[in-house]
């Protein structure tokens, strides 16, 4: 059972059928995990476990989404990595996605599925039209999650042909492809001058609605100019750009690109 399956099984066992009912404190309590909110030093959350009792200490920051993700992340460690203690930088995709810490990634995956379980999340992105940022912000409000966590879930739920990525002036920080996107597409390491994200990084101009874009603004492949995609981007912390790309269906059916068969991720 994957970390995501484990989280969703808990939601199902508790009979939770709406986002408002995902009460992370109650879910922790039910699992024998006490949650304390007090300032932490050098991390966002800690978990200390002893036999069947654990204490999660959560930094009581002002952002509800981050706080909930922290609790869910520690519940993940509690279920998946029993017997160990953790100091975590939670809901920090910059570190957790870009790093190779498998236990942190697992706890993040667990948290993502606990807060946004597929049976509740998927219908909200399956409405027929690809969700723009306003729709995604509305979904984040319903699930009480951060925008970044919601974007990441949008990619991992694999319902739409979407790529979510984070770029800084120094290049790509991390990227997530929906699983069904062919492996032949190689995302550029640097933001292209023709992309909307370039304008965002240079002049702070966000693009919250779908913007049509030639795929060669984003992909290295020689034939990328034959395809189109939709690009949106918003500012993230540290002066970075969070990017959501929806690929047109022809990109999913494109033949293998032997010129770029180099694993160039
Ligand atoms: Zn952790």
- Written in H, E and C, the secondary structure of the chain is CCHHHHHHHHHHHCCCCCHHHCCHHHHHHHCCEEEEECCCCCCCEEEEEECCEEEEEECCCCCHHHHHHHHHHHHHHHHHCCCCCEEECCCCHHHHCCCCCHHHHHHHHHHHHHHCCHHHHHHHHCCCCCCCHHHHHHHHHHHCCCHHHHHHHHHHCCCCCEEEEEEECCEEEEEEECCCCCCCCCECCCCCCCCHHHHHHHHCCCEEEEEEEEHHHCECCCCHHHCEEEEEEEEEHHHEEEEEEEECHHHHHCCCCHHHCCCCC
Q: Output the CA 45–ligand 1 centroid distance in Å.
A: 8
Q: How far is the CA of 71 from the centre of ligand 1 (A)?
A: 10
pLDDT in tens, the chain (265 residues): 899 999 999 999 999 999 999 999 999 999 999 999 999 888 889 999 888 889 999 999 888 999 999 999 999 999 999 988 999 986 566 665 656 688 999 999 999 999 999 999 999 999 878 999 999 999 999 999 999 999 999 999 999 999 999 999 999 999 999 999 999 999 999 999 999 999 999 999 999 999 999 999 999 999 999 999 999 999 988 899 999 999 999 999 998 887 765 544 4
Q: What's the 131 CA to ligand 1 centre distance in angstroms? A: 30
Distance 177 CA to ligand 1 centre (A): 23
CA of 150 to the centre of ligand 1 (A): 19
Distance between Cα 17 and ligand 1 center (Å): 27
């Amino acid at each position: 059972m994957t970390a995501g399956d484990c989280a969703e099984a808990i939601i199902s066992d508790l009979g939770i059928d709406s986002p408002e009912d995902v009460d992370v404190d109650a879910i922790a309590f039910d699992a024998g995990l006490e949650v304390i909110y007090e300032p932490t030093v050098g991390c966002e959350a800690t978990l200390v476990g002893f036999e069947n009792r654990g204490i999660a200490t959560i930094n009581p920051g002002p952002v509800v989404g981050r706080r909930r993700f922290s609790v869910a992340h520690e519940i993940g460690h509690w279920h998946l990595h029993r017997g160990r203690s953790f100091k975590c930088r939670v809901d920090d995709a910059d570190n957790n996605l870009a790093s190779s810490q498998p236990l942190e990634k697992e706890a993040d995956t667990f948290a993502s599925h606990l807060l946004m379980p597929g049976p509740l999340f998927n219908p909200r992105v399956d409405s027929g039209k690809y969700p723009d940022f306003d729709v995604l912000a509305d979904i984040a409000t319903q699930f009480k999650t951060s925008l970044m966590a919601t974007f990441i879930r949008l990619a991992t739920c694999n319902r739409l042909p979407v790529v979510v990525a984070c770029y800084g002036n120094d290049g790509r920080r991390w990227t997530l492809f929906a699983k069904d996107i062919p492996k032949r597409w190689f995302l550029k390491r640097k933001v292209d001058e023709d992309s909307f994200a370039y304008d965002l990084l240079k002049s702070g101009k966000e693009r919250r609605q779908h913007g049509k874009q030639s795929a060669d603004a984003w992909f290295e492949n020689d034939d990328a100019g034959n395809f189109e995609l939709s690009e949106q981007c918003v500012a993230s912390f540290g002066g970075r750009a969070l990017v959501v790309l929806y690929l047109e269906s022809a990109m999913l059916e494109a033949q293998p690109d032997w010129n770029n068969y180099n694993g160039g991720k």
